[in-house]
Structure 1
């Protein structure tokens, strides 16, 4: 403070630091700083990340699900105006745009205006990464009929055909609720030569269609709730990460061709009583993955435990991390031991045990009509005697309770994993949509001491037990690469 005036320490910072700060704001907030002074106007024109999202223009307190069609048109127009305002301030070729991301609705001719603006920006500036997140404004796929999908698919292809230069420079493409023509997806992939990330949510080429994928640079792929008979990964030499959710049939839903770099896989499905169980040696044949997530939606276990075979050992020979998500409560966990037996390099095993009422059908009559399984578990006992695992060091269980099924399972893991160092036992996660139910988690010190005695009785192990306070590192490890559309769907359902 000097003579009653405040020192402006922020403006005293170098330009590159201030631009770095502005890059961390959404574009709408960053643009507001341009009114501060001529210097701030110039700084806004030097941003390296231009993230322009329709969601940033929603009225305060309004979710995407509650927006009318007229409002969507207005929001789209605001996206076009914001993009034009930002891009016209930049001097061609002066500063690299590391990310140009636009999220908008498939309404009227606005997408073509956005595509033309992005195509012009690609010719005038050096853009390292460009993303289109194309939304339809529909968030409940149950309410969508075939006409909605077909109409949206045609609108997208009109947009695509009108803006080949923009699509030619894209590195990320997120699409939802589209029904393509037979060759449309192939044409999109041929045009999007730089594409690295592709997300398809509720997209297909007709009921029970097959999706065939070939691309030289695609490295991340997310396919969710697409009515596909089979996904064929024919030739994807750079693919490293794949998310596959909600396949139609359990008989050969995935064909894996040339994908030599695939190492991270997330598989999610809801199995009914008649659903065929999946053998991972067959499902993931031809791969050698490092990170694996299996999601069960608190319903029937759809993975078939397998005895050690050369084929299964080949799939799991590089496996380091396994995350078993939303296992149904009250069922034996012993079947998961088969993963340890064929994954000699496995270091960490995470599992979440929960019965989310918001995710599962609880009405008995509806469960019967929908062919939901009443016996969600799977029985299995290893034929391997005296098995020892040398690499596993960490076991994390979320949704733990002081029940015999948990205690006996942990004891079995401790006997097998001779170098187990840490066992993290957390209570179930709080869900704002589910009614809280009492559980038998060891909250008190006395309960934990008693539990430890049950766990280590007669077992020589140096494992340390940890309770409560879930570590941030564990939360981060449970997150898998997903496109923004998949994240949005979960937040609205």
Structure 2
């Protein structure tokens, strides 16, 4: 919100001045008379499109976009606003059936003829809806291709004008995994890392289809594309500080480990709906990783063997034959943990005091999606008191109805420093401070 407000104020400052605000006899307005560092600060609060438009004002302005300390550009932000929403097949059938029933010309028809006309109307409505959906999908694909190309061009243009001996720059890029754009972006960023002072570099790699719409063939295809991108741009990946990946299936079982080995500077790594063809035990060893997010992924086991700087971990909606599917090794700084899963009646229960015995968690979220509680109730012991002595915030989400909430007393007794407790039990929301 603060970022949006600052951009609005900056955009207002950049608006064309009225005659009363112009300095008489001067070709420049009062904003242009400000020193470069102030103007660069203003440009840094604008989005990339607005900032680059200022380069047409004068020769001086044309040099300023290449001086901004932060370059953030997202292909999603360049897409046209969606003006149409999809309608479910059930709603299409309902509307077509209602239209036939309301038509006065059909009032005297026999039941058999009415059924025939209704079926024909429904079939036509579904065919029309399918044609519209395909047209919208094709238009969206074209829009994503155009936005992707724009990202590559803007990054290349701005970085080419940077002074190698100038101020450091922070790069944040979001783009789609399609065509040759990812490799183009990777080469540009890799060259920048070799010639410029790049303080941070972030890649958010999106797929054209969203997770729920992806078939097996889609995620395999996306995985193949990413492997080609990764292999072509090792220099860029070696310097990344943040990487987010989604909807990828890798043919090689050790490829995820290759990402960890190559991307040695990562502070954040996020996986959504990613896996390998063969279920693997993912060993995580990384000296710089601070935040790790694994959501809706299919790994047999994830072992955080040695992650000395990790402070924030999200592990949601796992699918595995192991219980638990996550093992915490050397993570001495881990403070924030988010765990959520839809436990089945046959799944084993997790003993938190054993699972967290090497950590000092301060902020814990446990999500229960259905069927049963997968945390085993425990009696308070000295070991459990040690595990939870640093706990300050506890969030228990979607506790299944029918469970006696007295099991939550374990946390209240084991966590003497607890400051905030949030619970959702069915439709009941409880907040305690």
Q: Deviations over 1:306-358 (max 9, x none)?
A: 21123322321211222223445686533322112111222222334554xxx
Q: 1:323 to 1:33 in 2, by over 3 A?
A: farther
**Shift of the alpha carbon at 1:277?**
3.1
> Cα 1:339–1:85, aligned 2, differ >3 Å: closer, same or farther?
same
* 2:386 aligned residue: 314
What do the CA deviations read for 1:17-40 (whole angstroms, capped 9, x no partner)? 332332233222222232333333
DSSP-derived class of the 1:228 partner: coil
Task: State the TM-score, normalized to the length of structure 2.
Answer: 0.75
Asked if the contact 2:203–2:243 (Cα under 8 Å) also holds between the matched residues in 1, the reply is yes
- Contact 2:422–2:429 (CA<8 Å) still a contact in 1? no
**Structure-1-length-normalised TM-score:** 0.67
- Mark the structure with the bigger radius of gyration: 2
Higher relative contact order structure (alpha carbons within 8 Å, sequence separation ≥ 6): 1
Shift in CA distance, 233/62, structure 1 to aligned 2, threshold 3 Å: farther
- Take 1:28 and 1:316, find their aligned partners in 2: how far apart are those partners? 49
Q: CA deviation at 1:165?
A: 0.8
Matched residues in 1 for 2:351 and 2:72: separation? Answer: 42
Partner of 2:63: 42
Residue deviations 1:69-119, cap 9 Å, x none?
33322221111111122112222221210x201111111222111100000
Q: Select which of 78, 87, 91 maps to 1:57.
A: 78
Name the counterpart of 1:380: none
For residues 272-326 of structure 1, the C-alpha deviation after alignment (integer angstroms, 9 at most, x for no partner) is: 3444332212332321211112223476433333211233223212112222234
2:358 paired residue number? 286
Is the aligned partner of 1:267 residue 2:297?
no
Q: 1:299 to 1:129 in 2, by over 3 A?
A: farther
Q: Which structure is higher in helix share?
A: 2
Structure 2 partner of 1:15: 36
DSSP 3-state at the match of 1:129? strand
Counterpart for residue 272 of structure 2 = 201
Indicate the residue corresponding to 1:32 in structure 2: 53
Q: Which residue of 2 aligns with 1:5?
A: 20
The offset of 1:128, in angstroms, is 1.0
Choose from 185, 203, 217 the match for 1:147.
217
SS, match of residue 16 in structure 1: helix
1:138 is aligned to 2:209: yes
For the aligned residues, what is the CA RMSD? 2.8
Unaligned runs of 5+ in 1: 356-397, 401-409, 411-422, 425-493
1:316-355 equivalent positions in 2, closer than 5 A? 316-327=388-399, 332-353=404-425, 355=427
Q: Secondary structure at the match of 2:230?
A: helix
Aligned length: 358
SS in 2 for 1:68: helix
Q: Which residue of 2 aligns with 1:251?
A: 323
- Which position in structure 2 is the counterpart of 1:82? 154
> Does residue 127 of structure 1 match 2:198?
yes
Most deviating of 268-277 and 336-345: 268-277
Contact 2:211 2:273 in 1 (8 A): no
- Distance of 1:287 and 1:63 partners within structure 2: 49
Contact 1:229 1:247 in 2 (8 A): no
State the Cα deviation string for residues 367-422 of structure 1 (Å, max 9, x = none).
xxxxxxxxxxxxxxxxxxxxxxxxxxxxxxx835xxxxxxxxx9xxxxxxxxxxxx
